[in-house]
Amino acid sequence: MDIKIRKMDLSDVSYVYDEEIKIFGKSLGVKTLYKEIMYNDLSRYFIAIVDDKRAGYVGSWLTIPNAEILNLFVSSEYRGLGIGKKLMKEVMDICNEQNIEFLTLEVNVNNKYAVKMYEDLGFTISRIRKKYYDNKEDALLMVLELGGKT
């Protein structure tokens, strides 16, 4: 199986939107995704391609000194193949190149697979954000220390 990671472009917006709705029940929205790709210098969005098909996505902001993961998913039929980790590593590599100190993300406390994956990648739980999702479910704030000095 051939897994590639490439920059997201406008042709990917409808894939990301449809999958976000399917997986999370909500999306950043077509307009926001479009603006992020066209106009936000800080944004870094990537798409995973498996055998020429779109299989996943990661969105991040390279703010200095603390970069942020905005969202990550792997389409359900492609999970468990290492694609989630590969997308995360793409962002982590850029952060290292840019001397970023911390990479942070929020994850639902009940999302065991994702929490485990982030821990495997070196993230640690920093704190709980109560009622983070729709004022109901709690999130964990997870942080990866990269050691960069800006």
Ligand X SMILES: CC(C)(COP(=O)(O)OP(=O)(O)OC[C@H]1O[C@@H](n2cnc3c(N)ncnc32)[C@H](O)[C@@H]1OP(=O)(O)O)[C@@H](O)C(=O)NCCC(=O)NCCS
Q: Active-site residue numbers? A: 106, 118
Exposed/middle/buried for residue 15 (C-beta within 10 Å: 0-12, 13-18, 19+): middle
Question: Would you state the structure tokens that stand for residue 65, as one six-digit string?
Answer: 């000194």
Smaller CB separation from ligand X, 53 or 147: 53
**Separation between Cα atoms, residue 145 and residue 77, nearest integer Å:** 32
Smaller CB separation from ligand X, 48 or 100: 48
Binding to ligand X by residue 72, rule CB under 6 A?
yes
Binding to ligand X by residue 82, rule CB under 6 A?
yes
Residue nearest to ligand X (CB): 84
Binding to ligand X by residue 122, rule CB under 6 A?
no
Amino acid letter, 113: Y
Among 80, 134, 135, 136, binds ligand X (CB under 6 A): 80
**Separation between Cα atoms, residue 64 and residue 87, nearest integer Å:** 20
Smaller CB separation from ligand X, 1 or 39: 1
**Separation between Cα atoms, residue 146 and residue 38, nearest integer Å:** 28
Among 120, 128, 130, 147, binds ligand X (CB under 6 A): 120
DSSP string of 66-134, one letter each residue: EEEEEEEEE-GGGTTSSHHHHHHHHHHHHHHHTT--EEEEEEETT-HHHHHHHHHTT-EEEEEEEEEET
Minimum CB–partner distance for residue 51 and ligand X (Å): 15
Smaller CB separation from ligand X, 120 or 145: 120
Binding to ligand X by residue 67, rule CB under 6 A?
no
Interface residues toward ligand X, by CB under 6 A: 23, 72-74, 79-85, 107, 111, 113-114, 116-117, 120
